[in-house]
Amino acid sequence: MPHSRLTALIPFLAILGSVTCLGLGTSWAKHTLFPLVGAAGTSAVRVGFSALLLLAFWRPWRWALSARDARTVALYGAALGAMNLCFYLSLQTIPFGVAVAIEFAGPLAVALLASRRALDFVWVLLAAGGLGLLLPLGHDVSTLDPGGVAFALAAAVFWATYIVFGKRASHLHAGHSVALGLAMAALVVVPVGVAQAGSALLSPAVLLVGLGVALVSSALPISLEMVALKRLPPQAFGIMSSMEPAVAALLALVLLDERLDLVQWLAIALIMAASMGSSWMAQRRARLPAAVHS
């Protein structure tokens, strides 16, 4: 039925919109804001404005929040803030597409930890192979900055944490959890940005661009992700999110002229294949009990 098909497409369209907005906004921020306020300052205006926008739009104080849900949202928001900060710090020294591919180890780990069968080791090997091609593990440390890689790996850890606690908070209204989560993220990120950039954050140009970046690369993508998480298990979220490294690399090529070599493109493809494979298997196993009892 057309309506059923449209409903089934909602999670895919939400994630596609999310990764595209995120890539556009991050490319814009790196090109425009990094030279003015640095990575931490850029993260501060992005997350700070995103929090203000969503607090004003959703007015989350209208909904009651239990103590347990408050703790979950606080952890979700703290992970979100730390993820944003570490990711932007990684972009100072490594290409956007490569940083996303490394960071993608986070949601990939969530999908793999939910897997149990021998075939799942294939996805582990694919992911390890992709990361091995990207990481400067002694074979040619000049290709990628170790500090940038470390920040991208830290962002991966926080991304996995964000998915776990985001799923636990998904029973709340999306606007409720996202607005409060971003407020918590701002409490984590803004002090670091102020310490780095100081009064430069108050420049009219920075504030104007920061508002646009916040809307495109935080407020819209995070809201769309919560729409998807409400309709998907974490494993399925992983398979649909696997398009993000390729989207990021393509946008960085077009908007930032960041060119990757063949090995780096191969690494991104391996990581995407690992995520898609592990998440597909998890979804398939989840459907089997229903098919048996139908």
From CA 106, how far away is CA 93, in angstroms rounded? 20
- The structure tokens listed for 90 are 């990684």
Give the pTM.
Answer: 0.78
| pLDDT value, residue 139 | 42
| Site of tokens 């890689």 | 149
* CA dist 118 → 106, 122, 124, 238 (Å): 21, 8, 10, 19
| pLDDT value, residue 231 | 72
Percent of the chain clearing pLDDT 90 (strictly above): 39
Statement: residue 7 has pLDDT above 80: no
Percent of the chain clearing pLDDT 70 (strictly above): 80
Sign of CA dihedral 161, 165, 167, 168: positive
**pLDDT mean over 163-174:** 87
CA atoms within 13 A on the CB side of 33: 32
pLDDT in tens, 228-277: 777 766 656 665 666 777 778 778 878 888 887 888 888 878 877 776 67
- The structure tokens listed for 34 are 């990094």
CB 210 within 8 A of CB 45: yes
Sign of CA dihedral 183, 184, 185, 189: positive
From CA 167, how far away is CA 236, in angstroms rounded? 12
- Nearest 5°: the CA angle 164, 194, 179 is 35
**pLDDT mean over 181-208:** 95
From CA 246, how far away is CA 219, in angstroms rounded? 22
Domain ranges of the chain: 11-293
Q: pLDDT tier at 156 (50, 70, 90 boundaries)?
A: very high
* CA dist 31 → 46, 154, 173, 225 (Å): 14, 23, 34, 25
Is residue 291 classed exposed, middle or buried when 0-12, 13-18 and 19+ CB atoms within 10 A define those classes?
exposed
| pLDDT value, residue 193 | 97
pLDDT in tens, 101-110: 788 788 777 7
**Lowest mean pLDDT segment, chosen from 19-23, 40-44, 72-76, 156-160:** 19-23
- The structure tokens listed for 274 are 């690992």
Statement: residue 209 has pLDDT above 90: yes
DSSP code for 262: H
First vs last Cα of the chain: how many Å apart? Answer: 21
**Lowest mean pLDDT segment, chosen from 12-26, 60-74, 123-137, 159-173:** 123-137
Statement: residue 188 has pLDDT above 50: yes
pLDDT in tens, 277-292: 765 665 565 555 444 4
| pLDDT value, residue 285 | 57
**pLDDT mean over 141-168:** 88
Identity of the residue numbered 143: T
* CA dist 281 → 107, 210, 229, 244 (Å): 15, 40, 18, 20
Q: pLDDT tier at 293 (50, 70, 90 boundaries)?
A: very low
Backbone phi, psi, residue 144, to 5°: -135, 140
Cβ atoms within 10 Å, residue 217? 24
* CA dist 256 → 95, 160, 259 (Å): 9, 27, 9
Nearest to 209 by CA among 36, 88, 86, 22: 36
**pLDDT mean over 72-77:** 96
- What is the SS3 assignment for 227-244? HHHHHCCHHHHHHHHCCH
